[in-house]
Structures are given as C-alpha cells and as structure tokens.
Amino acid sequence: MSTRQPVTINDVARAAQVSVSTVSNVLTGNRPVAAKTRQQVLQVVEALGFRPNRLARGLVSRSSKTIGIVASGLEYFGPSRTLVGMEQEASERGYSLLLSLIHDPATEEIEPIVTDLLAHQVDGIIWAIPQIGHNRTWWLNGAHPLPIPVVFLNHQTWPGLVSVDIDNCYGAQLATTHLLESGRQQIGLIAGPSTWYAANQRQKGWASALQAAGKASEPRQIMTGDWSPQSGEQAFYALMKRYPEMDALFVSNDQMAIGAMRAASDLNLRIPEDIAVVGFDDIPEAAFTRPRLTTVRQQVVELGRLAVTALLELIDSSNQQEEQQHNRLLQPSLIVRESSQRLR
Amino acid sequence: MSTRQPVTINDVARAAQVSVSTVSNVLTGNRPVAAKTRQQVLQVVEALGFRPNRLARGLVSRSSKTIGIVASGLEYFGPSRTLVGMEQEASERGYSLLLSLIHDPATEEIEPIVTDLLAHQVDGIIWAIPQIGHNRTWWLNGAHPLPIPVVFLNHQTWPGLVSVDIDNCYGAQLATTHLLESGRQQIGLIAGPSTWYAANQRQKGWASALQAAGKASEPRQIMTGDWSPQSGEQAFYALMKRYPEMDALFVSNDQMAIGAMRAASDLNLRIPEDIAVVGFDDIPEAAFTRPRLTTVRQQVVELGRLAVTALLELIDSSNQQEEQQHNRLLQPSLIVRESSQRLR
DNA sequence: TTGTAGGCGTTATCAA
DNA sequence: TTGATAACGCCTACAA
C-alpha cells in the first residue's frame, strides 16, 4: 500500500508509457484495450498501488457507488441484523454504505438527513426507520420527489413506494392460531409501541386470528409496552388484573415476553399450565428461558439483503427508465417450544 | 428540495449576481463576506435549494468529512450500541460514516477493505473489530503506514496505536471480587471465545482477582463458550462435571449466563443458594431472568463517542503535526441483583 | 487501439 | 471585500 503520497492516474500513465485514457479504460473496462497494453498497465497499477479516487470518479461519472442507509432502533434485534444483511449484499455488489441514524424518529428533522445524503451523491437510499410518524408523512405527502430511488423497510405499501418487509401480520396470526389450536380460550396481547409499524401489524394479526376463530378482541385484552422486558413485566401485571381469565398470551417481542414470564412466575402462575406464552423475534435467549419460549422467527438478515437487491434494481433500471414495482414480504415461521405446550 | 436538476454553485452565483468564490466563502466561512452580500447569497441558496456537492468539495479540499468504520459482531450487545455512539458523535460534529463490516475476522482479507476506504478519501478510520487474529497482526507488524489516523477499539495498547476500550479486566475483577466477598469459595469461569480480545481480558481479570485472594485459578475451573446462551448451557454442564465443588460462577457475557442459569435450573441447582452467578454486559433481559442476574455494566455507547472524539482530535492535529497519545479506558460498574445474593 | 482535451462542481490562489 | 482562474483526479467524447 505504501505511504500514499497520492498516486494519480497520471502517474500510472506516465510510468506505463500510455495515456490516461488507456489507464482509465483498463480500469473501468468501458472500452477495449489490447491485452498487452492492459497487462502493462495493470502491472504498473499494482506496483504503484494506485487506487482511483472515488470522489473524482463519482464527480464525473455521476455515480458514487454508495447507498445511504437511514436507520434507527439499532439496539433491537431485528434492525441490527437487517443492517448486517444490507451491508453484506451491498459490499458483495460493490457498493459502500453511508450510515445515518435517527435517534428520535418522532421529532427529528429528516430533511437535513436526506439532503446530506443527496449532497454525498448517494445512488439510492434505504429508509429503515421502523417508527411511523412525521418521518412517514414527509414521504407520503409526495411533496419531495427525489432524483434517486428509495426503498422502504417496515412500511405500509403505498402507491409509488417500493417497500420490503417481514409479514408481521402473518407472523402474529401464526402465533395466535397456534395458541387457539392448542386449546387456549382467552388470549391476551402485549403489543409493541403503536409508533412502530411492525407493532401495529402484529396487533392486527392477533386480532384477525381471533376473529377467524369467532372470538372477540377487546381493548381490555391488550396492554402496550415499549419492547423492554420491564414494560413486559408491567404489562403482564396490568393484564392479569383487568383480564384474569386469560389463559394465553401473545407478546409482540421476546424481550417483553421475558419480562412477562418473570411476572407470571412472581405471581406463582405456571407456564404453560396456567398460561401459555408466545413471543416474536426468536432472539438467542428465547430458547433458554424457563420455560423455553415459543416464538416467531423472522428472516431479518435476509430482509436487509432484499432491500439492497431491490434498491440496486431500481438504480440500474432508472438509467433505462423502466419502472418496476416489487413490494416483497418475507414470511416468518413459528418455533414451538415449552412455553406453549398443549395441555393434556 | 425540488427535483434537483442539479443546481450548482454557478447557478447560485449567477442568480445572486456575485462570483462563485463569494458563494463559496459564504458557505464555508473561509473568508469574510460583507453581511449584506452574505444575506443575498443565503437567500438564493435557500430559494434554489442548493447543496454543495460533497464529492467535488472533498476532491479539492482534500477532506471528505467522512470517517470509515470497520466493524464486526454487530449482532452482539456491545458492538451494536457502540456503533450507535459513534454515529451520534460523528453526526453531531458534521462527519458522515462509511460502514464496512467484516464477517469472518479470522480469514477475511482486510487490505481491500482499508484500500476501499482510502479510495473513498475518508479522513480517518475506526477499527472496531473485537476479534484478535490476522486483522491485528496486519496492523501490528507496522508494514502499513496509512496517510490518515486510525483509532482502535477492543485492542491491546501498542506503541504508536491509539486505542479506546472498556476496561474489561477491571470489570471481571469487580465481578469476581464481589463473589469472593459474599462468601464464595470456588469460583468457576465461563469465558468468551479466545479470539476476542475482551474475552481474554475478562479471563485475566477473573484470574487476577482470584490470585489477589490467594486462590488458584486452574484450567479445570474454566470452560469457553461462543457468547451464545446455548454454549453457556453446555459449558455449565461440563463445568459441573469437572469442577463439582464450584459454588460461584463468573460468566463472560449475559447471554451465556442465561444459558448457564437454565442449565443450573435443569440440574435442580438453586441460584444463588447453591451457586452464585455474575454475568457481563447488563443486557435488558438481565434484570428479568429468574433469578435476576447480577452483572457488569459497561458504557458501550459512550465508548463509541469516545472513539470518534479521539479520531477527530487526531485528524485535526495531524494537520498541525502534533502527535498525541491518549489511550483511554472506560470503567465498568457492578450491578448487584438476585443471582449473587450473599448467603446467610 | 490509443491519445488529447474538456469538463464534472468545488475550493484555493492570486489579483484587484 | 470581491472576482477571475487554476487546480483537484477522473472519465469520455472526439480525433488520430
């Protein structure tokens, strides 16, 4: 690598005794170069450790080979893995990631963030903000046409928006139906914060599964947490008080489920005998709680890869003006463990 | 924002009836501009929605205001939060993050990654790879002087290297000493993978605390896991077999501790009566296991901020040729809960 | 197949 | 305090 006193394409051209365009053509492959000259050039490139300056390249070619990721909630299971998936897919396809995090999705100004990404000449943006709120309406009111494609994660489908997501509604249906089929009658819900799109979808899935079974889903069956184990614990206490006949519980994520199970245990309720519990996420800990937690597994890494794939398709096609609309949903699966064993 | 048919500094200059240099000076503040002209320019900038192209700016100013993050282990508690901290500090100070992840730190070629970052003209790099291995030796043999500063996370101190870290050794000492002081005699260890620097440090802390108490630390007291709850479960079984007199256990992270507690429970061992357990990390679940888990809390977000702060200092000072060496260690703290209650 | 020259959008230098 | 103009490093017509 050597202590780069920046070596430029000119240095290479000079050393290889060819013109800069030849060097450029060797490197980009945009025009054919005689095999012999190419070898010569590559050799010099290697020897000098030349790496084309991507700023300069991006400036003239109008493509930075960089995509902007706007994310939040990296402290949670899903979002952090999804970011890993995005990076994998992107780097495998020669793209770099410019990362912006939003820390308060409810209030934070998003225009500066997008503007900054644009100033960096990113080729596309992945909007990976799980929370609904003004960050959504900003996009939805359509007042902000962007010169580059955008792919949305955890977002409702919307005409003109490309989005990929886990099918959270289906996952919750899986969980709830499983509880019903194993003989449970009274199924409570600890929901995630209503500011999260996924939380709403999971609640919807829970309700629709109950409805499909001819059962009501009333507000008193529902408590809302903030994803934390602590909120799960509190929600459980509240739920038992107002809905004492509850014999099963769907919890919108595993962390809250862990809190809820702790609370059940403190109330001397047995799981699954007195009350069955199903979580969501399948975090590593889920298989090692007591009892081991039944939960819904989602392909979070795959989701990230999918988002990048979708974005790159848009980027490629936008050069050719073809418009395509593929909103894809990944199907989660149910992992049955001890916490929801059928009663005998 | 408008459908950016890219508006350039020339457009602004023309509309404001000034020269491009004046516009530039207004925006960068590099040279004083008359208040009146400045107002005029700013107004046009606003009206046209002009944003300086950062590629162009970086090309000529030789500063991209971008820092490269090379990380791995984002699926774990510490690294994911640390990334959040880095982003916060960076964005607050006007820097963007270019993110590269390493997926197999043992074998992955690192030269291409560094080279790519360099090609992007990042102003500095934060090496946030928790694993030791050839990615370390690559740096340590000193054969790769870089034109930009690098800050290391989770790395041994080394002459000429700037590093910041959690004081893992001290944290493990806290935990182990706590167990000793609460009357435990036989203290086992479930270590993290030896490929992780932090895991080694925690083992060292455990051993040194034992030594300070005049106790031996023998290999049979130690089992190594891979951070997962499952490996913690297995390690516990193995440990009980070969070290049956064990009455306390320090586990190198909370996830493995959860697995270990599950195993203890399956063996009908009571915690803390039969065996006390202390973890490391203070993940949210730790306070809601049964029993609630005593653990070591580290300032993971702060660590990220610190890394960026250190890097930016280097960047600023490297323009002035002052060399400074501040290797900083963040002190973790002990959170005592049920799993290590003193025996009466 | 190769070379020359112009330009990408910005900052920096040098005059005015 | 302001303005022209030359870089920055690269790609890409256009010419040879």
Nearest CA in chain A to B66: A98
What is the arithmetic mean of pLDDT over B181-204?
A: 97
Instruction: Report the distance separating Cα B97 and Cα B90, nearest Å.
Output: 7
Q: Is 60 exceeded by the pLDDT of residue B174?
A: yes
3-state secondary structure of A31: coil
Least confident of A134-143, A256-265, B184-193, B292-301: A134-143
Mark which residues 218-237 of B lie under 8 Å from A by CB: 228-230, 232-233
pLDDT 10s digits, A239-274? 999 999 999 999 999 999 999 999 999 999 999 999
Mark which residues 260-299 of B lie under 8 Å from A by CB: 262, 265, 284-285, 287-290
Q: How many Cβ atoms sit within 10 Å of the Cβ of residue B343?
A: 11
* pLDDT range class, residue B2, cuts 50, 70, 90: very low
pLDDT recorded at residue A3: 41
pLDDT recorded at residue A221: 98
DSSP letters for B202-247: HHHHHHHHHHHTT----GGGEEE--SSHHHHHHHHHHHHHH-TT--
What is the arithmetic mean of pLDDT over B211-239?
A: 97
CATH T-level fold of B9-61: 434 Repressor (Amino-terminal Domain) (1.10.260)
pLDDT recorded at residue A1: 41
pLDDT 10s digits, B46-56? 999 999 999 99
Residue A106 beta carbon within 7 A of nucleic strand D: no
Give the burial class of A10: count Cβ atoms within 10 A of its Cβ; 0-12 exposed, 13-18 middle, 19 or more buried: exposed
Burial annotation B44-75 (CB, 10 A radius, 16+ → b, else e)? bbeebebbbbbbbbbbeeeebbbbbbbbbbbb
Domain ranges of chain A: 9-61, 66-166+300-329, 168-298+334-340
* pLDDT range class, residue B3, cuts 50, 70, 90: very low
Burial annotation A120-158 (CB, 10 A radius, 16+ → b, else e)? bbbbbbbbbbbbbbebbeebeeeeeeeebbbbbbbbeee
Instruction: Report the distance separating Cα B55 and Cα B40, nearest Å.
Output: 26
pLDDT 10s digits, B13-49? 999 999 999 999 999 999 999 999 999 999 999 999 9
Residue of A341, A251, A338, A254 whose CA lies nearest to A291:
A338
Distance A7 CA to D15 C1' (A): 28
pLDDT recorded at residue B241: 97
SS3 content of chain A, % helix, strand, coil (to 5): 45, 15, 40
pTM of the full predicted structure?
A: 0.95
What mean pLDDT is reported for chain B?
Answer: 93
pLDDT recorded at residue B1: 41
Residue of A172, A227, A301, A222 whose CA lies nearest to B285:
A227
Residues in chain A, pLDDT under 70: 1-5, 319-326, 344
Residue of A155, A72, A154, A142 whose CA lies nearest to A113:
A72
Burial annotation B208-236 (CB, 10 A radius, 16+ → b, else e)? bbbeeeebebeeebbbbbbbbbbbbbbbb
pLDDT recorded at residue B143: 75
pLDDT recorded at residue B5: 64
CA distance A216 to chain B (A): 31
Q: In the structure, how many helices (H) and strands (E) does chain B have?
A: 12, 12
pLDDT recorded at residue B319: 66
pLDDT 10s digits, B234-249? 999 999 999 999 999 9
pLDDT recorded at residue B141: 80
Nearest CA in chain A to B263: A288
CB distance from B60 to chain A under 8 Å?
Answer: no
Higher pLDDT, B316 or B1: B316
pLDDT 10s digits, B81-128? 999 999 999 999 999 999 999 998 888 889 999 999 999 999 999 999
Question: Does the bond joining B79 to the residue before it have cis omega, within 30 degrees of 0?
Answer: no
Instruction: Report the distance separating Cα A202 and Cα A200, nearest Å.
Output: 5
Class of domain B168-298+334-340: alpha beta
The answer to whether B84 touches B304, Cβ cutoff 8 Å, is yes
CB distance from A96 to chain B under 8 Å?
Answer: yes
Mutate to test the interface with A, among B1, B45, B55, B91 (most CBs of A within 10 A): B55
Residue A119 beta carbon within 7 A of nucleic strand D: no
Instruction: Report the distance separating Cα A310 and Cα A9, nearest Å.
Output: 34
CB distance from B115 to chain A under 8 Å?
Answer: yes
Write the Ramachandran bin of B338: left for phi over 0, alpha for psi from -120 to 50, otherwise beta. alpha
What is the arithmetic mean of pLDDT over B163-180?
A: 97
CB distance from A338 to chain B under 8 Å?
Answer: no
Instruction: Report the distance separating Cα A1 and Cα A4, nearest Å.
Output: 7
Instruction: Report the distance separating Cα A276 and Cα A247, nearest Å.
Output: 6
Domains B9-61 and B168-298+334-340 share a fold: no
Is A55 close to B58, i.e. CB distance below 8 A? yes
Smallest CA–C1' distance to C6, residue:
A60
pLDDT recorded at residue A322: 55
Q: Which CATH number describes the domain made up of B66-166+300-329?
A: 3.40.50.2300
Residue of A211, A132, A133 whose CA lies nearest to A173:
A211
Nearest CA in chain A to B58: A55
DSSP for residue B281: B
Spell out the residues 6+ positions from residue A104 whose beta carbon is closer than 8 angstroms to its own.
none
Strongest mean pLDDT among A37-41, A218-222, B2-6, B314-318: A218-222
Is B98 close to A103, i.e. CB distance below 8 A? no
pLDDT recorded at residue B327: 73
Percent of chain B whose pLDDT exceeds 90: 85
Nearest CA in chain B to A52: B119
The answer to whether B201 touches B169, Cβ cutoff 8 Å, is yes
Distance B60 CA to D7 C1' (A): 8
Mark which residues 17-56 of B lie under 8 Å from A by CB: 51-56
Is A233 close to B144, i.e. CB distance below 8 A? no
pLDDT recorded at residue A342: 82
CB distance from A324 to chain B under 8 Å?
Answer: no
Amino acid identity of B156?
Q
Residue given tokens 């790159």 in the structure block: A312
User: Any bridge partners for residue A234, and if so which?
Assistant: none
Spell out the residues 6+ positions from residue A190 whose beta carbon is closer than 8 angstroms to its own.
A222, A223, A224, A225, A232, A235, A236, A239, A249, A250, A251, A252, A256, A257, A260
Smallest CA–C1' distance to D9, residue:
A56
Residue given tokens 């990976």 in the structure block: A128
